Every structure is written in C-alpha cells, then in structure tokens.
Structure 1
C-alpha cells in the first residue's frame, strides 16, 4: 500500500494522543528495524508507524532501515549477521520466513537456526485487484475478460518471485483454464505504480497494499483469501465464496531477532510491542490498513509461523515448483 504523505501525517497526529508507558530510559542506544521492501509499500508504512510508538515506550531512538530486494532475502541476511544485542530486529511477514526457504535453494539463512521470534502483532490476507483500465467489476468478469478479450492469457503482477501470490496465480490459471503469467516486482510499491498506470491488468498482493486505492476508486479488489470477508473490505468476497477453497490460513506479521539474543532483550521488546499494539489508536490505524490486529508473544508467533509453514510446504510441493 502506498500511503500518501497526508495519510501518514494524519496517522502520526492521531497516534500522538496515545498514552505512554515508558520503559527504562535508554536514549543513548538506537534500535534498528530492518524492512525487506522499499519505502512506499505496506510493510514500510507499518514499520514506520510502529517505530514512532516504540521509541516512546522504549525511551530510545528507533529507526527503519530498508533493505529491499529478493522478497526480503537481503534484509534477512543482514539480520543473520547482526549482533545479537537486541538492537537489530526484522519486521517481516510470512514470505521471508515461511516461503523463501521452500523456494530458494540457498537463501543465505535458516529461520529456525538463525532467527528467534521477538513478538507478532497482526495477521492479514492477500487479494486480487485489477487496474482501472481493466473492465471487470467482479472476479467472474475478470475471468471472462481474460478468456474472451485476451485470448486466455494475461500477466498478473506479484510483489516478489516465488511468493504466495505467485502460487495463487498458478492455481487460478489451472482452476479456470487460463494462461496466467506471474510478473514479479521488487516489492508492492513498483507493482502498484504499474497497476495505476495500466501497465499491467491485475495484481495479487496483501490487502494493505491495495486498500487505499480501492477505497479511492483507483483500482478494484475482486477477491481476498481467508476464511471470511475482511472487516475493512466487507464488499469484497473471499476466494472460498467463489469456489476456491484451501487458502483460509492467514499470513502473519512479526518481529525477529538474531539467534542468541538474550531472553531479557526479547522480553523487553515484546513487552513494549504489546503496549503499542494495545493502544486503541494504533489498533484502529492498522485495522484501517487492512490488518487483523492482535499481539502475539514470541512463543505464539513461533507456533503460528510453524503451522503456516507446514501448510505452504505442502502447497508448494503439490504445485510441482522446483526450488531455484
């Protein structure tokens, strides 16, 4: 999601009224939050929103360090080599932790060995959206348009190669007898730019990437994954409603630290995250972005990650995908 400057400023003003529960002052140190995608996308906006609140709760400087490329792989490698002192964390979602190790032969990191969960804060769903120039108001219209007007073949943008959206593109193609080709981008921001410019007819990504432009009528979301319709998008049906079941498990957002980070450092950050997520204004803003907000302890985030990884390991194997 490409948040406008006005949107971000408004969010910051809204959050500024939140009550603070400061932790031990540590102004001499800086907490670095790694983000594996470029500025302007959904993950970057979320990181900056949380960083702004964490700095007050932790009473220290918090900076966002964008390390875009390879679907978060570069940022993950940076985390692996970072000191295990509690001052470098990786804000990421399912793709880097659960999917990349299944689709890349040598990703340069092993989440189970190299990382430790520091706390989670939300789940979300992916969805399909079409560009303003694509004449489809419903998912059935989109399928019919590809079949009749495009000769059965069309490109679908995805924010990273070998990602959950790519496997959904493959599944949709098989399910509806279409030749859908996944077109990978380096993050959601450049994908959104091409969609808004009608350079590509459709895209699959997280709800938070699309929701603002959907509300503004600049593109149209046609379907979302998940077991039920999203609170922020009550007008958009689930793929399960459309007859495509099996994608109800929801991806997650969380923070990870280098392996070897002390329990005390993890507990301090996790407690601060819990305080931030509990603030009504934070919850409201993240919900507006399309997230289902809910604090997860490190153990709860680990359990969700492992369950999600098991589901997608099976899906990836059944798809016949060969790790690159």
Structure 2
C-alpha cells in the first residue's frame, strides 16, 4: 500500500523519535542519573582548568557518567573549596586542587571557611609539578641573572605577577627579593590566566606560576622561563636552572595535584573514582599530554596523597613563619 506523503513523514518522525529515545535511554543507563562535577578554583584558560578538562573527558569514559567541569574562581581556590564543603557527600562532587588551596590557604588565612582535615577527604593524587619564574617578552632579560641586573638598572624595583595572594609564588618573590637585595613587589591576580594576559601584553615584567601555566607561551617564545623549583631541572624546560643552582635553597619540595571529596563521601565512591583515575593515567596519550603541560605524572592512592599533603603543609608552615608572615 502506498501511503500519502504526510503519513510517510509522520512515520519517519515517529521512527526517529523512537530510535532517539532508545539511544537516550541507553546513555542514561550507562552514565547514571547524575553527572560527576569537578570543581576548579581558577578561571577557564589556566593550567588547572586545562588539566581538569583533559582528565574529565577521560574519566567520563571510565566512570560511564557525564563529567562536568565547574569553575568557581576566586580567592586562590577558596570559593571552590567552600563549595566542596557545602556539597552533598554523595560521590558526585570532587575538587581538583594543587597545593595552594589545600595546604597553603589554611596557613595564611585566619578564616578560610574550611578545614581540609575535617571537611574534606583525599581521593587520589595524579602528579607533581614545579613553580617557575618567567620573564615577559618585553623584558630584555634571558636569564635570572640578567633579570636581576635589569631590575637594578631600574632602581632595584620590580613588579612580579603571582596567580593568588599569600601563595607560594608570592613567598618566592619575597625570598628572591631578600636574596638579591631587590625591592620586588608581588602583584596578585585572580588566577594564572589574567596574570598571563598581562605578561603577554607586557603590562608586567615577570611572573611566578606553575610550569603548566607557562609552558605553552614559553615554547612559543612569548615569555621565557628562567628558573624552576625542585631538586632537578624539568624535562619540559631543561634549559631553565633550579633555584638551588642559583643559590636559593629551600624550594626542593615540589607541589602536588590531587582530587578531594566532601567529608562523609562513601569510601566506595572514593575508591571508584580513584580506580577510574588510575586507569586514565595508565593511558600513554594522557600521560604524554600531562607531561607536555609540565607535570610529572604519578598516581598517588588516597593515603599517599594524605601523607604528602601533611608533609608539604609542615614544610611551608616553617617557611611562612620564618618570613614573619601573619595570617590575614
């Protein structure tokens, strides 16, 4: 029987809707009822955001759920940390963070609005990285010694961008100033992305941030990394000496990256996310991409991440006290 055109059209639409419903039903079943949310404490475009989006895309496949990156920028990750504290401990919310928010903020802020030991549970770590000192393209210096000479030629004063106030980069600026007798002033930003924008626009002569923040523009020749933290030079920027090589000791312990969940999150949910992350990190492509961003990739199970965080906090508590910094 030959049906009128309008009936054939309706049948085609019905078939398409039925097929779509079938596919959506299958997807919903595979991905679970709610997406996994990864909180990021810095704006889109920065190093942490790029890492979160890379891992989130891969975790989606391992978890069988949609993964959403939720940027809650501001106060050096403090806003995102407070959001984690307020989140339901149901295994659907995780916080990707490096050392600053978890280890440093509680040392430099009188009331950060969260206590990592009480309000969070470590899930797993996935990398370490180093902070670096970089000069802007408009600065003639091509090494740390040349930068020091350049600052002295300008009255010994210089502004150095840092991605957050009262952070390791800010303390590093203070120590460099003390070491070389310079009047360096840390200029805090709300994340690495706006700091990088000003460095690229030559609005500021130098900046301190993580290798992931700098690596792309360093490779493009738009900025120059001239010194790095850590006990050895970094594969991503092998030409840059360590601060220890330059005579500035005390920066050998490197920061970490890890995932955290709200306190009370079921251990089964923690273990599930941790296992998925471990599988993602085993993928050569992922390791290569993270290494290209300046990370040293290495899976850290829950207890290892917890131990590293405690040790890192203790190290910086001593350094901050020695600088005479008072929590604000």
TM-score for the superposition, normalised by structure 2: 0.91
TM-score for the superposition, normalised by structure 1: 0.92
Shift of 1:233: 1.0
Shift of 1:147: 0.7
Partner residue, 2:11: none
**5+ residue gaps in structure 2?**
1-28
Partner residue, 1:64: 69
Q: Indicate the SS of the match to 1:200.
A: coil
Partner residue, 2:89: 84
* Aligned ranges 1:235-314 → 2 under 5 Å: 235-314=239-318
Q: Distance in 2 between matches of 1:223 and 1:231?
A: 13
Q: Indicate the SS of the match to 1:294.
A: strand
Q: Indicate the SS of the match to 1:63.
A: strand
Q: Distance in 1 between matches of 2:90 and 2:103?
A: 24
Q: Indicate the SS of the match to 1:68.
A: coil
* Aligned ranges 1:219-234 → 2 under 5 Å: 219-234=223-238
Partner residue, 1:110: 115
**Per-residue Cα deviation, 1:77-111 (whole angstroms, up to 9, x for no partner):** 00001000010000000000000000000000000
1:33 aligns with 2:38: yes
Q: Indicate the SS of the match to 2:77.
A: helix
Partner residue, 1:183: 187
Q: Distance in 1 between matches of 2:263 and 2:180?
A: 44
Partner residue, 1:193: 197
Q: Distance in 2 between matches of 1:28 and 1:102?
A: 39
Query: Aligned pair count?
Result: 300
Does the 8 Å contact 1:35/1:44 carry over to 2?
yes
* Aligned ranges 1:8-27 → 2 under 5 Å: 25-27=30-32
**5+ residue gaps in structure 1?**
1-23
Q: Distance in 1 between matches of 2:71 and 2:77?
A: 10
RMSD, aligned α-carbons: 0.8
Name which one, 1 or 2, has greater alpha-carbon Rg.
2
The structure 1 segments of at least 4 consecutive aligned residues displaced by more than 4 Å after TM superposition are: none
Partner residue, 2:133: 128
Shift of 1:299: 0.6
Q: Distance in 2 between matches of 1:298 and 1:26?
A: 25
1:217 aligns with 2:232: no
Shift of 1:232: 1.1
